């Protein structure tokens, strides 16, 4: 086992186990195609209707496709499902061989083809969801998120293991078989590798990296103490992480090889956790209890004194997630009353608002690629699962299937252009 002082460290003048778990407020067990152009391509399609939602009719040559696409658009908040003759657009999905799906966008009476394109994927589910994302792009001008990848922790086998799936849990693949706690998975931006903390095989929290194409796994960080919270930057070129080898749990960044490490915090008696990168990759937000209770801070990757993020909403603020599209927004977890909730802080307006509803707990937010939607862990009683939230309308959708056990600590990427 290496010591942190045995390698190159450049100083500046735990586990995601989030800081909530570190201070005992939140128990860890609580958590527990390529496109082929055909026909018309008219750019973003305008509509005459002034309704807030875009009303669409979904048609396909398969009931399964209609069901999947309908669930996807129902989760959005910006779209409504309508019958024939009452919609702004008809989205028609046609299945072809080799995991190809053709999207046709129609409107009017009689129906006129406005756009048509064939999309391919690594499997049929992915092709269908990529085609649905294309429909979102063409009718709203914004990116779709339906075909993204989701990594998470599940306890179906009796111990927390890492899994990867599509957003709607059609295809689920188990990544680890450690028989020990695996926590805090984080996907690379290209979706090809995952970082996570595991207590296998020696009972200590070390960081591992798995190539999802070859299934090759390697020890990424195994210093004395805890090695946790590994998080890729938006370009996939650097990694933020929390190490405690020199004493306290401190924030570091390193290259992809894990050999060139820079320390960003020196908090003495405090605990740092939950690093998240700004969209430009120049700043990291994190949780720290240096003021006595968990609050949000940010620090430049070039060093300097960490600055508190003045959310001013709760004595407990943790698990920040920086919006990948709107750099002025950070989602995070707060304790309000006796429940955990997801809040949204707008740095431009210096304003914070709670965006989750209901009587259960809401923790561990992760943004989707459109900068509008969030996936978080919802808990009520002994149940734990993932919920997709539209931060603009408040619409929420359960993602996991019944009987899958406790599911928590999600992280999302959209690895397609």
pLDDT at 349 exceeding the cut of 50: yes
Query: What mean pLDDT is predicted for residues 229-250?
Result: 96
- Rounded Cα distance, 301 and 238, in Å: 10
Q: Sheet containing 149-154: which strands, arranged edge to edge?
A: 172-174, 161-166, 149-154, 407-413
Tokens coding 24: 């005992």
Q: Where are the domains of the chain?
A: 4-33+146-413, 45-140
Query: What mean pLDDT is predicted for residues 332-359?
Result: 97
Lowest mean pLDDT among 38-42, 55-59, 326-330, 351-355: 38-42
CB 174 within 8 A of CB 161: yes
Structure confidence at residue 187 as a pLDDT band (50, 70, 90): very high
Rounded alpha-carbon distances, angstroms, from residue 290 to 149, 297, 322: 35, 10, 21
What percent of the chain lies above the pLDDT cut of 70? Answer: 88
pLDDT at 23 exceeding the cut of 80: no
With a CB cutoff of 8 Å and minimum separation 6, the contacts of 351 are: 345
Look at residue 358 in the predicted model and tell me its pLDDT: 87
CATH superfamily membership of 45-140: TolB, N-terminal domain (3.40.50.10070)
Q: 198 - beta bridge partners?
A: 182, 206
Tokens coding 91: 């989205």
Look at residue 381 in the predicted model and tell me its pLDDT: 82
Q: Sheet containing 238-243: which strands, arranged edge to edge?
A: 9-10, 261-263, 250-255, 238-243, 227-232
Tokens coding 228: 């946790």
Bridge-based pairing of strands 396-398 and 383-390 is antiparallel
Rounded alpha-carbon distances, angstroms, from residue 124 to 94, 148, 205: 11, 14, 37
- Rounded Cα distance, 70 and 254, in Å: 42
Q: 196 - beta bridge partners?
A: 208
Please give the residue that has the higher pLDDT: either 292 or 42: 292
pLDDT tens across 378-416, in order?
A: 998 888 999 999 999 999 999 987 778 999 999 999 999
- Report phi then psi at 19, rounded to 5: -65, -25
Please give the residue that has the higher pLDDT: either 393 or 51: 393
pLDDT at 32 exceeding the cut of 80: no
Rounded alpha-carbon distances, angstroms, from residue 321 to 40, 79, 300: 39, 25, 16
Tokens coding 168: 């709607």
pLDDT tens across 3-19, in order?
A: 454 444 433 333 345 65
Residue in the block written with tokens 């195994």: 222
Indicate the class that CATH gives domain 4-33+146-413: mainly beta
Q: Quick one: DSSP state of residue 130? A: H
Q: Quick one: DSSP state of residue 189? A: T
Q: What is the mean pLDDT of the chain?
A: 90
């Amino acid at each position: 086992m290496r010591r942190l002082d045995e390698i190159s460290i450049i100083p500046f003048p735990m586990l995601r186990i989030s800081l909530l778990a570190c201070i005992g407020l939140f128990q860890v067990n609580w958590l527990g195609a390529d496109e082929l152009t055909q026909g018309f391509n008219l750019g973003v399609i305008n509509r005459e209707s002034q309704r807030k939602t875009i009303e669409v009719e979904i048609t396909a040559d398969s009931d399964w496709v209609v069901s999947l696409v309908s669930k996807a658009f129902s989760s959005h908040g910006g779209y409504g499902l309508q019958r024939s003759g009452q919609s702004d657009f008809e989205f028609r999905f046609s299945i072809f061989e080799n995991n190809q799906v053709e999207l046709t966008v129609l409107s009017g009476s009689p129906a006129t083809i406005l756009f048509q394109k064939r999309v391919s994927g690594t499997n049929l589910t992915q092709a269908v969801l990529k085609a649905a994302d294309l429909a979102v792009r063409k009718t709203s001008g914004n990116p779709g998120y339906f075909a993204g990848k989701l990594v998470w922790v599940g306890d179906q086998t009796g111990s927390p293991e890492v899994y990867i799936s599509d957003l709607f849990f059609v295809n689920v693949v188990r990544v680890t078989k450690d028989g020990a706690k695996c926590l805090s998975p984080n996907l690379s931006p290209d979706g090809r590798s995952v970082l996570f903390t595991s207590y296998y095989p020696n009972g200590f929290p070390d960081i591992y990296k798995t190539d999802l194409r070859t299934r090759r796994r390697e020890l990424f960080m195994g210093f004395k103490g805890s090695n946790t919270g590994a998080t890729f930057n938006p370009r996939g070129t650097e990694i933020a992480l929390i190490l405690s080898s020199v004493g306290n749990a401190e924030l570091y960044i390193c290259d992809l090889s894990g050999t060139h490490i820079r320390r960003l915090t020196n908090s003495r008696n405090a605990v740092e956790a939950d690093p998240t990168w700004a969209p430009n990759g120049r700043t990291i937000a994190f949780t720290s209890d240096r003021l006595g209770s968990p609050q949000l801070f940010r620090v430049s990757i070039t060093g300097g004194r960490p600055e508190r993020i003045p959310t001013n909403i709760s004595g407990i603020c943790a698990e920040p997630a920086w919006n990948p599209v709107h750099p002025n927004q950070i989602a995070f977890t707060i304790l309000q009353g006796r429940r955990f909730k997801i809040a949204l802080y707008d740095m431009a307006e210096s304003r914070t608002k709670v965006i989750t509803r209901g009587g259960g707990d809401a923790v561990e937010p992760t943004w989707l690629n459109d900068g509008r939607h969030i996936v978080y862990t919802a808990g009520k009683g002994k149940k734990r699962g993932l919920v997709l939230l539209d931060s603009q309308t408040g619409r929420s959708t359960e993602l996991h299937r019944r009987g899958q056990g406790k599911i928590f600590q999600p992280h999302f990427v959209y690895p397609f252009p």
